[in-house]
Structure 1
Amino acid sequence: MRAVQTLTTPRFTLRPLRRSDAAALFATMSDDDVSLYLTRPAFTSEEELWGWFADPDWNGRTWIAEDAGGDVAGRFVAFPAHEKGVEEVGYITAIHRTREGVARECMEALIRHLFTAAIEDEGARKLTAEVDTRNAASVRLLEALGFTREAHLREHETTHAGLCDIYLYGLLKSEWNGGE
């Protein structure tokens, strides 16, 4: 497992995952509407959620967004994609913090980190994200962050919600505006 460096934004600290984060994010991850765009159904217990968060076979990294008062505002992840230098990213905002700009602020910090930090001796050259085509909020966020829609994968994935179309987004380091 690769180390998770603590990141900061004007309102949040993005820190490594803790056991208590399962309790903090359970209301979000157990909500059927929020979980609609996950590849699995809503979680039924904090223990089940912690098992998913802490899966020892997962090769990604997790950052938890926490405000100055200690309130958990979201989960942000990055994991190796198909080859060195390419990382896939993902995010979920805590249900009680939606529409506050949490995902945008934290994703900007994560993008900056992934493009500039040492990842196996070099920053990522490309970031990717997969999103259910019905997830309009996530599509808007990725496009606002400068990601380009690279593919529309039709009937690509079967989830608890049925057969889903997926958009594949990419952001090249050479195209990134540095967060400006």
Structure 2
Amino acid sequence: MTEPLDRFPVLETNRILLRRIEKSDAQDIFEYLSDKEVMKHYGTEPFQTVDEAIRAISRYESLFTEKRGIRWGITLKGDNKVIGSCFFYDMDAEHYRTDIGFVLNKNYWGQGIAQEAVKATLNYGLEYLNINRIQAVIEPANVASQKLVERLGFLREGLLRSYEYFCGKFDDLYMYSLLKSDFNPEE
């Protein structure tokens, strides 16, 4: 990866700003990570307290300082409220790859915000971090997220059987990937 992650990168699109998540954002984070509908395909139980959001924000900070990932808070321009996040995790500089994830407050679903955030994140990772492969694991029932990544050029590589243990059962996940050579930032 070519650009050092010494300074937290702020990304901007026409409608949104992707910025560092601060402790002061805990209530905003709690608002959507405590929502059962939002968390349905997330792989963890909905948050029960704001303290869980505060601990999560500390983990996001560690992810960045340890150079294992970057988690951006999604805000609408002109409004500092965090309405979701888009993130790289399990970054592997030696192999030029990372995983990507995203989550959005349901009040903002269906407006293209998640796609705009993911596209900006992809562009940053591929161009500035020199990542070659970005992968996403998505539950088969999460059709909306599958369609989102497919619109951005991801290809479904296969089914990861019993890949994740959640709520007392093993879940299958689809593996999607996007290679640097697949991505067209103009689309």
Q: Which amino acid aligns with 1:62?
A: R
Q: Partner residue of 2:38?
A: 34
Unaligned runs of 5+ in 1: none
Q: Which amino acid aligns with 1:138?
A: S
CA distance in 2 between partners of 1:22 and 1:146 (Å): 33
Which of 58, 61, 71 pairs up with 2:70?
A: 61
CA distance in 2 between partners of 1:74 and 1:141 (Å): 15
Q: Deviations over 1:38-74 (max 9, x none)?
A: 2221111111122123226543211111112223221
CA distance in 2 between partners of 1:142 and 1:161 (Å): 28
1:91 is displaced (CA, Å) by: 0.4
TM-score by length of 1: 0.90
Which of 83, 89, 92 pairs up with 1:79?
A: 89
Q: Partner residue of 2:156?
A: 149
Which of 10, 27, 52 pairs up with 1:48?
A: 52
Q: Deviations over 1:8-64 (max 9, x none)?
A: 000011111111222112121011222121222111111112212322654321111
CA distance in 2 between partners of 1:148 and 1:81 (Å): 19
Task: Report the count of equivalent residues.
Answer: 176
Question: CA, structure 1 residues 57+65, in 2 after alignment: closer, same or farther (shift >3 Å)?
Answer: closer
Q: Which amino acid aligns with 2:87?
A: V
How big is the alpha-carbon RMSD for the aligned residues of Structure 1 and Structure 2? Answer: 1.8
CA contact (8 A) 2:38 2:105 kept: no
CA distance in 2 between partners of 1:52 and 1:35 (Å): 15
Q: Deviations over 1:117-148 (max 9, x none)?
A: 1x3xxx10111111111111111111111100
Match runs of 1:1-180 below 5 Å? 2=5, 3-55=7-59, 58=63, 59-67=68-76, 68-81=78-91, 83-117=94-128, 119=129, 123-160=130-167, 162-180=169-187
1:161 is displaced (CA, Å) by: 6.7
Unaligned runs of 5+ in 2: none
TM-score by length of 2: 0.86
CA distance in 2 between partners of 1:91 and 1:43 (Å): 17
CA distance in 2 between partners of 1:131 and 1:179 (Å): 25
CA contact (8 A) 1:112 1:179 kept: no
Q: Percent identity?
A: 27
- Structure that is richer in helix per residue: 2
Helix, strand or coil: the match of 1:21?
Answer: helix
